[in-house]
């Protein structure tokens, strides 16, 4: 059951697609205080209550013990003290333990705060037992009650609409770096994979493919024959995926800039002038993607690249990130000038370093420009979290015109609930830290709750140097994420897998992904079409099992399997909790598998650096594609030749979804393939 | 057996106290390459080989998979990618697994690289199987072989001399903050503990007790009657522990500055002028503590505070940290001036932010000043890692004169092996992150290997806001660290335990420490006097147990117990490996204990937020003091009233060390108390 509460005069965010009447009763699951500038919601949490959700944030699956602030921020250090990352995903579920329910009649509920400005979720940071949500005075709040965690999520997902569907090739392995600078460098990357028998479906073009970081341009010196190059790559089954940034360079003669100026499509400052911020190219204007005309105009620009054969994009810097604003930089440089010749003690010196550090993503800058929301002038900070959403929506709505039949790959860095209908996200500029691998594991189900299904983290870590073992362990997890992309920053160690010594291990790992493709794709599509979660914490499937609520480092992936990735360096194994009897499938490669039934319970299990262990649930099945030795890409995977792994004492069943992977015609449920195997038909 | 190898013309670091003749044979455990500017040592590591050591560094107990650079650095973000923290601890042990030994005749060995400049330990970062050590061309290398990990450490510890002994009061609970600004604020902190029945032995004075950050001054406005205040505190059993910084403020009329100038006791720049760096007070000179006269002079300055009743110090900023050098700041401000009015694209902008960020701790600054090592002029970077060591030695050698009979508390931020004879360390400016609690657990045994026994981390985390649960879990570990200090940075949430709601839990936890005091002190003293480790990884005591080498989050503490702290948020338990049958002692408070014998094996164990679980080894014993309800400090602990916890099927034994805790007369081994209890004499 969904209850809708409206406070003040909310801005229409388009997060929700379903008509819900206003609730006739007062909001009861939390105490509501309407303050002058804010709505404050609060309730007490019992000892055993667990909070799930909030999407892209730091810390564990259980969000208790910290404050999370929805305020899309370009911050490349995802340490535990960060309150905001790139997205704003204002949905959580407070799961009441039996004990709490009994004591006070409190109920389990989900809550979605539809407010595109800053929202604070203090989940027991200030007081361990208090959940306090502070939203703006104008917002819509949805409270969702249901039979189970899964049911609440499903209702929420129906409310916010069906998730984006990526083309099947985007479920292959993808390689990125900031940046492959030339056509030849891209060719080298492709060859590095091809000649070593490592499947690969896509190579990414980071900011340097552009001419002076101008959106919708291609550097003619380094990519002189882009259209030909794109088709050369396609012949090798490689999709090129260029980046698009939010800021449009200010440069006379650059058509995108000139059109934007002419048509008044850029965000304005206090004085009605086009707002000047600086990002990669230096000074830019931000297209006002909250304005429907500007959005249509900006989306249409993607055509330039699509006409050259591009069928995938990643939208970046769309929090929007600001290196500095013209005005603030001027002020800071003037203040710094006054420091010359002075004795700077700690206060003066920290003030100085702060001035410079706070040039970027400065709240004052976000308060100093405006949108024209189809006639209504709105200061940016009030709708800050909608920017990335609407940049991505711009692209998606244009694709509906440009390529109405075909799926186009699209994902974004910044997002707000609702954007999941238009594209996926990647989890931004993480680091080559073991802790970030764990974070990625923990973020996945929280993102899925919000409908963000096409997602994954930068494998190996974006910032700082990766190590060979970290890359292996990361791949062992990421082979299950829909977006499986290796990406690294300028200046870091090269981390294409062929750069390392144990190529055989990497080849085996990436081939496993291609073997898993029929399952991953089937489960992804079913999750989309049924409004379900592809990744789930154990508690979602084993709600009666108290231990399941404690497990922070295992996931259910689709309906059939559980994974327990290794995420600590030098580990040769890890502890695993089995909430029921399962079939342990230990793989050194797709073909080299050892299966064993393991009973419910706690175990320490060996997991060597080159091993992947999958747990198949009783009476469920895992299809694996039989791969040719020379499989190069998703298109080489023969989906008709499947092996079935499973364990049952009776009958196991599986519903296999498949389709052509490129058109927008999805297989109707009536045509989904139902497989049913008896105990005797399995090796296990 | 210790083998000594001398390369080039090494600088005498005083790390080693034992005469060792040069080895007559070539170094054989690693391949040696003598290069023009460096010595390169390398060997292969087998799959199961483990590397222990390197003291204060990031990552796990097993150091494999990363590069560690000995280059003392003031860096307050101890993330996994940091190659250098505050100390330089160039000792490691490569433990060869049986498999490796068999295959190639490789042996387990310890290696100490006595080189006070930059030394790089690539422990399988570049190539997973390669250990590569790169030292300067002039260095002494000691290779130590022995019967066991423990034996190698013991030999090494004899080589480097007996560890510093802290006064017993310094094993009490201590409270710090940057800064308690006034006498009254200190009184409030003491009262906060006293009125809530929370024992406390010391309060720290961070930089603001000084007059304009000048060493050996007291701010007369905020601490107007310092001597009286010190004795007022002593009457409440509170020791005040002021900070001393490395840099001496440049200020006419400030006697320490003027003496230093007059006597030529400061480090010089290229031109022979006193080198100007800036730290807290702005511009300072660095006392040349590598010069014996300057060292004696600087040490003697501590007398000013000791005469006012101070008996403990912490030496800070002695890497030495440099906010900026006068010359570099001038250059940077000039360059910034030229940026005015320009369009800064990413390269220009990152260059700008880099210029400012790299003002601090800039390698070029460390190459631009000089020491007079008793007649020999040496550029700082060659001896960089000796600075903190010798600042602390300065103090310690002065204490021998000023208080020859008494122990004075002394610890340092920066250190080099050898400094452990003069004082302890704290592990610097950590953060209120759960990951930093784990790091602290993992650092302790590595520090102990290098003789650094009086040590601990900032409980609750120094930087960023702590949470109540993190502080509890941290105390549950830190109650075992010799230095048990809660410390937090300016601007963070107040984290004295009485600031939180569950005061009863904090009181119980801190009282447990006082109950453990007889054991902790006894084990600390025995570790010092026998050249042993107080904290040990499991592999040190269970070398035949393959699983023991994998355990990264449990420690043996002294001879009798093992701990398995909880270091993840919202955990209600954790997995524990018992390498043998042990007595599990579950404590809600010192008095509220439940004991149970648990067999060798892997377990998931409940550990509630308010519980401490200690594992007592079979045939060993744990003494616990019976505390009065109103125990306020270590001096209130009645050490004659002990309870004995243990588990044996026959007889358990314990050797109890004790002494007056303040004088430098230590109890000779012949007088150590031997306790022997039979099975029947235990409840367990």
**A345-398 pLDDT, tens digit each:** 999 999 999 999 999 999 999 999 999 999 999 999 999 999 999 999 999 999
Alpha carbon distances (Å) from B204 to A206, A506, B409, B493: 51, 52, 12, 17
Which residue from A minimizes the CA distance to B81? A464
Helix, strand, coil % in chain B, rounded to nearest 5: 30, 25, 45
- Determine which of A63, A347, A569 to mutate to test the interface with B (most B C-beta atoms within 10 Å): A569
- The widest CA-to-CA distance across chain A, in whole angstroms, is 86
pLDDT band at B397 (very low <50, low <70, confident <90, very high): very high
Burial environment of residue A195 by CB neighbours within 10 A (0 to 12, 13 to 18, 19 or more): exposed
**Chain B: closest CA distance from residue A5 (Å):** 31
B469–A65: do the CB atoms touch at under 8 Å?
yes
d(CA B581, CA A45): 38
A604–B602: do the CB atoms touch at under 8 Å?
yes
Predicted confidence at residue B681, as pLDDT, reads: 87
Which residue from A minimizes the CA distance to B347? A280
Which residue from B minimizes the CA distance to A212? B345
Residues near B330 by Cβ (< 8 Å), separated by ≥ 6? A340, A341
- CB A482 within 8 Å of CB A453: yes
CA B592 to chain centroid = 32
CA B65 to chain centroid = 23
Q: Chain B partners of A570 at a C-beta cutoff of 8 Å?
A: 50, 60, 62, 64-65, 550, 552
A356–B359: do the CB atoms touch at under 8 Å?
no
Using CB atoms, which residue from A81, A571, A572 is nearest to B464?
A: A81
Question: How large is the average pLDDT for residues A111-125?
Answer: 98
Q: In 3D, which of B382, B405, B402, B384 has the Cα closest to residue B394?
A: B402
B339–A346: do the CB atoms touch at under 8 Å?
no
Tokens standing for B325?
A: 């050098």
**Chain B: closest CA distance from residue A594 (Å):** 22
DSSP-based three-state secondary structure for B554:
coil
Q: Which helix (H) or strand (E) holds A101?
A: helix A98-104
Region class of A554: left (phi > 0), else alpha (psi between -120 and 50), else beta: beta
A467–B127: do the CB atoms touch at under 8 Å?
no
Question: How large is the average pLDDT for residues B626-647?
Answer: 95
pLDDT surpassing 80 at residue B102:
no
**Chain B: closest CA distance from residue A407 (Å):** 33
d(CA A111, CA B342): 48
Does residue B57 have a cis bond before it (omega within 30 degrees)?
no
Question: How large is the average pLDDT for residues A287-307?
Answer: 98
d(CA B643, CA A225): 83
Residues near A140 by Cβ (< 8 Å), separated by ≥ 6? A4, A5, A6, A7, A10, A16, A114, A115
Question: How large is the average pLDDT for residues A248-268?
Answer: 98
**Chain B: closest CA distance from residue A252 (Å):** 14
Region class of A569: left (phi > 0), else alpha (psi between -120 and 50), else beta: beta
Bridge partners, B241 (sequence order):
B204
Does residue B320 have a cis bond before it (omega within 30 degrees)?
yes
B282–A602: do the CB atoms touch at under 8 Å?
no
DSSP code, position A623: E
Task: Please provide residue B304's backbone torsions phi and psi, each rounded to the nearest 5 degrees.
Answer: -50, -45
d(CA A369, CA A358): 18
- CB A2 within 8 Å of CB A144: yes
Averaged confidence pLDDT in chain B:
97
Which residue from B minimizes the CA distance to A573? B550
d(CA B225, CA B323): 32
Using CB atoms, which residue from A60, A278, A604 is nearest to B569?
A: A60
Alpha carbon distances (Å) from B271 to B249, B572, B649: 21, 62, 73
Q: Chain A partners of B214 at a C-beta cutoff of 8 Å?
A: none
- Determine which of B323, B338, B500, B570 to mutate to test the interface with A (most A C-beta atoms within 10 Å): B570
Predicted confidence at residue A433, as pLDDT, reads: 98
Question: How large is the average pLDDT for residues B253-274?
Answer: 97
Q: Chain B partners of A77 at a C-beta cutoff of 8 Å?
A: 77, 79
- Determine which of B52, B474, B569 to mutate to test the interface with A (most A C-beta atoms within 10 Å): B569
Predicted confidence at residue A99, as pLDDT, reads: 87
How many degrees, rounded to 5, is the angle at CA B173 between CA B683 and CA B236?
A: 110
Q: Which helix (H) or strand (E) holds A594?
A: strand A593-598
B468-478 and B503-529 helices cross at what angle (nearest 10)? 30
A80–B431: do the CB atoms touch at under 8 Å?
yes
Using CB atoms, which residue from A128, A349, A570 is nearest to B64?
A: A570
Q: Chain A partners of B77 at a C-beta cutoff of 8 Å?
A: 77, 79
pLDDT surpassing 90 at residue B101:
no
A340–B334: do the CB atoms touch at under 8 Å?
yes
pLDDT surpassing 70 at residue A683:
no
Alpha carbon distances (Å) from A276 to A286, A336, A361, B348, B547: 8, 21, 13, 17, 60
B324–A571: do the CB atoms touch at under 8 Å?
no
User: Is the predicted ipTM greater than 0.90, yes or no?
Assistant: yes
Task: Please write the tens of the pLDDT for every residue from B654-674.
Answer: 999 999 999 999 999 999 999
Which residue from B minimizes the CA distance to A122? B467
DSSP code, position A486: E
pLDDT surpassing 80 at residue B423:
yes
Bridge partners, B459 (sequence order):
B486
A435–B501: do the CB atoms touch at under 8 Å?
no
**Chain B: closest CA distance from residue A104 (Å):** 22
d(CA B178, CA B492): 10
Which residue from B minimizes the CA distance to A433? B80
Question: How large is the average pLDDT for residues A511-538?
Answer: 98
Instruction: Count other C-beta atoms under 10 Å from residue A418's C-beta.
Output: 23
pLDDT band at B683 (very low <50, low <70, confident <90, very high): low
**Chain A: closest CA distance from residue B522 (Å):** 34
* β pairing state of A239-245 and A312-316: parallel
Q: What is the 3-state secondary structure (H, E, C) of B530-547?
A: CCCCCEECHHHHCCCCHH
* β pairing state of A573-578 and A109-114: unpaired
Question: How large is the average pLDDT for residues B549-577?
Answer: 98
Predicted confidence at residue A684, as pLDDT, reads: 60
Predicted confidence at residue A682, as pLDDT, reads: 83
Predicted confidence at residue B682, as pLDDT, reads: 83
Question: How large is the average pLDDT for residues B117-130?
Answer: 98
DSSP-based three-state secondary structure for B684:
coil
DSSP-based three-state secondary structure for B584:
strand
Predicted confidence at residue B106, as pLDDT, reads: 84
pLDDT band at B513 (very low <50, low <70, confident <90, very high): very high
Question: How large is the average pLDDT for residues A223-251?
Answer: 98
Tokens standing for A212?
A: 């002076």
d(CA A47, CA B397): 53
Q: What is the pTM of this model?
A: 0.98
Instruction: Count other C-beta atoms under 10 Å from residue B357's C-beta.
Output: 14
Q: In 3D, which of B422, B393, B419, B382 has the Cα closest to residue B116?
A: B382
Which residue from A minimizes the CA distance to B124? A467
- Radius of gyration (C-alpha) of chain B in whole angstroms: 25
Residues near A458 by Cβ (< 8 Å), separated by ≥ 6? A176, A426, A427, A428, A429, A430, A485, A486, A487, A488
d(CA B126, CA B67): 8
Q: Chain A partners of B602 at a C-beta cutoff of 8 Å?
A: 575, 602-604
Q: Chain A partners of B334 at a C-beta cutoff of 8 Å?
A: 340
Q: Chain B partners of A463 at a C-beta cutoff of 8 Å?
A: 81
d(CA A180, CA A487): 11
How many degrees, rounded to 5, is the angle at CA B290 between CA B286 and CA B294?
A: 65
B79–A603: do the CB atoms touch at under 8 Å?
no
Helices and strands: H and E segment counts in chain A: 15, 40
Tokens standing for A545?
A: 């099992």
pLDDT surpassing 80 at residue B103:
no
Q: Which helix (H) or strand (E) holds A612?
A: strand A612-617
């Amino acid at each position: 059951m969904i209850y809708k509460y409206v406070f003040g005069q909310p801005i229409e965010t388009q997060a929700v697609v379903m008509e819900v009447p206003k609730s006739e009763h007062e909001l009861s699951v939390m105490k509501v205080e309407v303050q002058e500038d804010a709505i404050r919601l609060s309730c007490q949490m019992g000892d055993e209550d667990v909070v799930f959700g909030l999407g892209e944030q730091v810390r564990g699956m259980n969000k208790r013990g910290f404050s999370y602030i929805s305020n899309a921020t370009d911050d490349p250090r995802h340490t535990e003290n960060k309150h905001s990352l790139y997205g704003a995903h204002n949905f959580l579920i407070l799961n009441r333990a039996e004990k709490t329910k009994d004591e006070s009649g409190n109920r389990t509920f989900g809550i979605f705060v539809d407010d595109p400005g800053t929202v604070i979720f203090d989940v027991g940071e200030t007081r361990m037992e208090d959940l306090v949500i502070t939203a703006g005075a104008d917002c819509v709040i949805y409270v969702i009650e249901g039979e189970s965690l899964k049911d609440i999520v499903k209702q929420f997902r129906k409310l916010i609409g069906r998730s984006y569907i990526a083309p099947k090739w985007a479920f292959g392995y993808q390689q990125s770096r900031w940046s492959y600078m030339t056509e030849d460098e891209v060719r080298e990357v492709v060859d590095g994979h091809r000649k070593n028998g490592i499947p690969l479906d896509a190579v990414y073009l980071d900011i340097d493919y552009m001419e002076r970081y101008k959106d919708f341009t291609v550097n003619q010196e380094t990519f002189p024959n882009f259209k030909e190059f794109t088709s050369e790559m396609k012949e090798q089954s490689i999709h090129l995926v260029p980046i698009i940034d939010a800021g449009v360079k200010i440069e006379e003669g650059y058509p995108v800039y000139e059109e934007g100026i002419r048509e008044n499509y850029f965000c304005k400052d206090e004085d009605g002038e086009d707002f000047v911020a600086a990002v990669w190219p230096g000074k830019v204007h931000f297209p006002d993607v909250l304005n429907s005309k500007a959005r249509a105009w900006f989306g249409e620009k993607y055509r330039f690249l699509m006409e050259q054969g591009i069928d995938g994009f990643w939208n970046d810097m769309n929090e929007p990130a600001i290196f500095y604003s013209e005005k603030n930089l001027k002020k800071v440089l003037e203040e710094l000038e006054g420091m010359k010749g002075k004795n700077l003690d700690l206060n003066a010196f920290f003030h100085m370093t702060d001035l410079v550090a706070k040039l970027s993503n400065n709240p004052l800058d976000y308060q100093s420009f405006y949108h024209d929301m189809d006639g209504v002038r709105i200061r940016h900070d009030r709708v800050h979290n909608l920017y990335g959403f609407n940049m991505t929506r711009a692209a998606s709505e244009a694709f509906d015109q440009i390529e109405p039949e075909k799926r186009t790959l699209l994902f974004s860095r910044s997002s707000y609930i609702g954007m999941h209908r238009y594209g996926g996200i990647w989890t931004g500029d993480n680091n080559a830290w073991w802790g970030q691998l764990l974070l990625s594991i923990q973020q996945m189900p929280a993102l899925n709750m919000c409908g963000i299904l096409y997602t994954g983290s930068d494998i190996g870590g974006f910032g700082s140097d990766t190590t060979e073992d970290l890359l292996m362990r990361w791949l062992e997890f990421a082979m299950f994420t829909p977006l499986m992309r290796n990406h690294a920053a300028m200046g870091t160690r090269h981390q294409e897998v062929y750069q390392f010594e144990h190529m055989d291990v990497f080849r085996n790992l990436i081939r496993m992904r291609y073997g898993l493709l029929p399952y991953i794709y089937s489960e992804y599509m079913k999750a989309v079409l049924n409004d379900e979660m592809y990744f789930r914490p154990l508690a979602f499937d084993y709600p009666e099992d108290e231990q399941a609520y404690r497990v922070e480092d295992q996931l259910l992936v689709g309906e059939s399997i559980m994974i327990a990735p290794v995420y600590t360096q030098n580990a040769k194994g890890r502890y695993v909790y089995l909430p029921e009897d399962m079939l342990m499938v230990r793989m050194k490669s797709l073909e080299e598998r050892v299966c064993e039934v393991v009973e419910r319970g706690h175990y320490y299990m060996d997991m060597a650096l080159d091993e992947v262990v999958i747990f198949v649930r009783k009476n469920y099945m895992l299809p694996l594609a039989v791969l040719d030795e020379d499989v190069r890409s998703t298109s080489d995977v023969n989906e008709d030749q499947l092996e079935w792994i499973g364990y049952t004492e009776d009958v196991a069943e599986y519903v296999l979804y498949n389709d052509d992977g490129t058109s927008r015609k999805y297989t109707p449920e009536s045509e989904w393939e139902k497989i049913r195997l008896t105990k005797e038909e399995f090796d296990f």
